[in-house]
Amino acid sequence: MRLLLIVVSVLFLSIAPRTLPVDPADLVFKNGNVYTANDAAPHAQAIAVKGDRIVFVGSDSAAQQFVGKSTRVVDLHGNTVMPGFVDAHQHLSGVGFREMTLNLEGTTSLEDFLAKVKARVDQAKPGEWVTGRGWIETHWQPPVFPTRADLDRVAPNNPVILGRADGHGAVANSAAFKLAGVDKNTPNPFGGEISKDKETGEPNGMLLDAAQGLVRRKVPPTSAADAERAVVVGAKRDVELGWTQIQDAGGSYDDIAIFKKLYGTGEVKLRIYKAVYGPGPNANRLLSEGPILGEFQNRLTVRTIKVVSDGALGSRGAALLAPYSDKPDTSGFLTVKAEELRPMLVEALRKGIQVETHAIGDKANRFILDEYERALNEVSAAQRKISAPRWRVEHSQIVNPADIPRFAKLGIIPSMQPSHAIGDLFFAPSRLGLDRLAGAYAWQSFIKSGVVVPGGSDAPVERGEPMIEFYAAVARKDPKGFSSDGWHPEEAVTREQALKMFTIWPAYAAFEEKLRGTIETGKLADLTILSADIMKIPELDILKTRCVMTVINGEIVFAANT
Ligand SMILES: [Zn+2]
C-alpha cells in the first residue's frame, strides 16, 4: 500500500507545476557568507527559518521558494553567518554584577586601582560596604597584589572587598577584617589561605579561595531584585556579543528560580545550560529531583553538578604535583575532599547526572581523572542511567602530558578557555618553569588525542567576548600580537577547529548536538552574524569584528544599528 502511494505521488509530481509547493518560511536570510560547521556541507548563502527551526540551507536562488507573502526576508549584505556561538563556561550573574558593582577590569597600575576605589568610596555612605571585582596585577609595575594598607589609604572607614578577576582571590581593607573578626590568630579555612605578613604575622589583605568567605559573609546579602537584575544585565550583554547559549558553570536553585521567572516574563531569551555546585545541598537536590531538560522552548537545561577541585594559577591556589617555581614553599591546594566526592559521583552515574569539575593544576587534573575513573569502574555502563555520561573537566589548564590521553580513554571532555592562555602565559613561566608548560593550555594536543574541546570565556574571570576567545584560540598571542618563549604556538587551533569549539563541540558537551550547534535543516535556528569573515581575515582583525545580529530560536534577539 505504501509503495503504491509513493508510485502515485511520484507520477503526480512529474506532471505537477514547476515549483514544489513548500510551506513558506517565517524568515529567510539571503546574501550571506554562511559557515555551517557541518562538514558535509560547510558553506551556504541562504537560510530559511520556520518557527524555531531551520528549514533550509543552501543557495539564494533555491531559498526563493520559501518566500511567501508574510515571509520576512533579511538581506545580509555578504555578512558572515555562524551557528549560534556558545560560551561553554561562563558565570552569568557574575557578568551582570561586574557591570553593576565597581568594575575594576582593565586597571593598569596600583595607583589606577586605588583611584577607582577612592572614587567609589567617596560616594558611599559612612560604613557602607564597597564591593567589586576585575582587577589583575600581572601587568602592574611591579606585578604584586594590592594590600590591606594600600586600601586603608583610600578607604579608612568603609569596609571594602575587591575580587581579583579570576575570582580565586580578593583584597580587603582593615575595616572589613575588623568586622569579620579575622586577625593574625585566625587559622586558614580548608581550601583557602589568609595571606599574612612574614614578619608581623598580621593578615596583609589578600584572601585566597575559601578564605574570602571569612570576610564576604559580613557583606549584606544581595537583594532579590539585584540578583534578578544581574541576570538580565548579563544576558543582555551576552546576546549583544553574539552568544546564543551560555553554559553557567555553577550556582544554586535560587538562580534557577530567577531564570524561570525571567523566561516566563520574556525578559531573557539567551539559552542557559546550568550547573549547580556540589557536593552539598544543591547537588543533592538535583540528584533526587532529576534534571530539568529543555524547558522554555529548549532554553533551560539543568543536568550538571559543578565541583571545584583547586584554586587558580595567578593566586598560586592551583594544586600542582611539584612546588611553584617562584614560591617553592607551596604547591597550591585541593579544595574538595575525596571522601565527600566519591558517593556523589557514584550516585550521579546511577541517576544520569553530568559532573563538571574545575581543575587548573596538574595535581587537581590527575586527582579528578582518578576520581572519575574510580566511579566509572565502580558503576558499570549497564548500571548507569546514561552509559556515556560525558563528564567534563573545566579548564584542564596544566595537565601532565601523561594524563592527556586519559581524557579520550575515559570519555572525559576538557572544557577550555582560550583567553586564559593569553592572559596567563605572561606569568605562567615564572609560576611553573618552562618545562611544565608542555601540557599547559594544550588545546591541539587534546584535539589530536581524540576528544572535543568546548570553548568558553569563564567571564567575569575574563572579558567574555567571543571574538577575544576565537582570536586567542587561533593566534595564541596577546591582543597586540605578542607571544614569547614557552607559549607553545603549536597548541593553537585552526579556524575550522575554533568554529567548532564555540558551536558544535559545546553542543555535544551539553548532549544537544542533534538539536543545535550547526546550521542544518531541522536544527534550532540559532545564528551569530558577524561584520567580517573571521575564517579568512588577518588574525588581529578578528578582534575588530563585531556581532551585527543574534538569532535565538528563530527570533532576531539583537540587531546592531548599522
Ligand atoms: Zn569558572
What number is the average pLDDT over the span 535-558? 98
What number is the average pLDDT over the span 91-101? 92
Task: Sort residue 251 into left (φ over 0), alpha (ψ -120 to 50) or beta.
Answer: left
pLDDT of amino acid 506: 98
Q: What are the DSSP calls for 244-294, one per residue?
A: EEEEE-S--HHHHHHHHHHHHHTS--SEEEEEEE-SSHHHHHHHHH--EEE
Which cell numbers in the block locate residue 376? Answer: 566509572
pLDDT at 477 over 50: yes
Considering the chain, what percentage of its residues have pLDDT values greater than 90?
A: 90
Residue 274: phi and psi, rounded to 5, are -105, 135
Contacts with 214 (C-beta within 8 Å, 6 or more apart), sequence order: 180, 182, 186, 189, 192, 194, 207
What number is the average pLDDT over the span 182-200? 94
CA 465 / ligand 1 centre spacing (Å): 15
Query: d(Cα 316, Cα 164) in Å, to the nearest integer?
Result: 13
Q: What are the DSSP calls for 129-168, one per residue?
A: -EEEEEE-GGGSSS-----HHHHHHH-SSS-EEEEETTSS
Query: pLDDT tens digit string along 50-65?
Result: 999 999 999 999 999 9
CA 90 / ligand 1 centre spacing (Å): 6
Query: pLDDT tens digit string along 349-366?
Result: 999 999 999 999 999 999
What number is the average pLDDT over the span 163-186? 95
**Using only C-alpha atoms, what is the Rg of the chain?**
25
Q: How far, CA to CA in Å, does 210 sit from each of 312, 333, 365, 442, 493?
A: 12, 11, 19, 28, 35
Among 398, 411, 467, 472, which Cα is nearest to 439's? 398
pLDDT of amino acid 15: 47
Q: How far, CA to CA in Å, does 272 sit from each of 43, 49, 64, 243, 288?
A: 28, 22, 34, 11, 21
Neighbours of ion ligand 1 (CB under 5 A): 249, 458
CA 72 / ligand 1 centre spacing (Å): 39
CA 377 / ligand 1 centre spacing (Å): 28
pLDDT of amino acid 495: 98
CA 458 / ligand 1 centre spacing (Å): 5
What number is the average pLDDT over the span 464-472? 97
What number is the average pLDDT over the span 374-402? 98
Sort strands 33-35 and 43-44 into parallel, antiparallel or unpaired. antiparallel
CA 200 / ligand 1 centre spacing (Å): 34
CA 389 / ligand 1 centre spacing (Å): 21
CA 395 / ligand 1 centre spacing (Å): 8
Query: d(Cα 239, Cα 237) in Å, to the nearest integer?
Result: 6
Query: d(Cα 87, Cα 502) in Å, to the nearest integer?
Result: 7
pLDDT at 4 over 60: no
pLDDT at 20 over 70: no
CA 287 / ligand 1 centre spacing (Å): 22
CA 323 / ligand 1 centre spacing (Å): 24
pLDDT of amino acid 395: 98
DSSP state of 426: T
Query: d(Cα 438, Cα 445) in Å, to the nearest integer?
Result: 10
CA 249 / ligand 1 centre spacing (Å): 6
pLDDT of amino acid 5: 46
CA 60 / ligand 1 centre spacing (Å): 42
Q: For the purposes of burial, counting CB atoms within 10 Å of the CB of 335, is it exposed (0-12), middle (13-18) or buried (19 or more)?
A: buried
CA 460 / ligand 1 centre spacing (Å): 8
What number is the average pLDDT over the span 314-337? 94
Query: pLDDT tens digit string along 451-461?
Result: 999 999 999 98
CA 89 / ligand 1 centre spacing (Å): 6
pLDDT at 7 over 90: no
pLDDT of amino acid 21: 66
CA 371 / ligand 1 centre spacing (Å): 20
pLDDT at 2 over 60: no
Query: pLDDT tens digit string along 238-280?
Result: 999 999 999 999 999 999 999 999 999 999 999 999 999 999 9
pLDDT of amino acid 3: 46
pLDDT band, very low/low/confident/very high, at 486 (cuts 50, 70, 90): confident
CA 276 / ligand 1 centre spacing (Å): 12
CA 68 / ligand 1 centre spacing (Å): 46
Q: Determine if the pTM surpasses 0.95.
A: no
pLDDT band, very low/low/confident/very high, at 1 (cuts 50, 70, 90): very low
Query: d(Cα 412, Cα 395) in Å, to the nearest integer?
Result: 12
pLDDT at 190 over 50: yes
pLDDT at 11 over 70: no
What number is the average pLDDT over the span 42-53? 98
CA 306 / ligand 1 centre spacing (Å): 10
pLDDT at 109 over 80: yes
CB contact at 8 A, 289 and 319 = no
Query: d(Cα 466, Cα 514) in Å, to the nearest integer?
Result: 23
CA 166 / ligand 1 centre spacing (Å): 8
Query: Average pLDDT over the chain, rounded to whole?
Result: 94
CB contact at 8 A, 192 and 212 = yes
Query: d(Cα 105, Cα 386) in Å, to the nearest integer?
Result: 41
What number is the average pLDDT over the span 447-474? 96
pLDDT at 442 over 80: yes
pLDDT of amino acid 512: 98
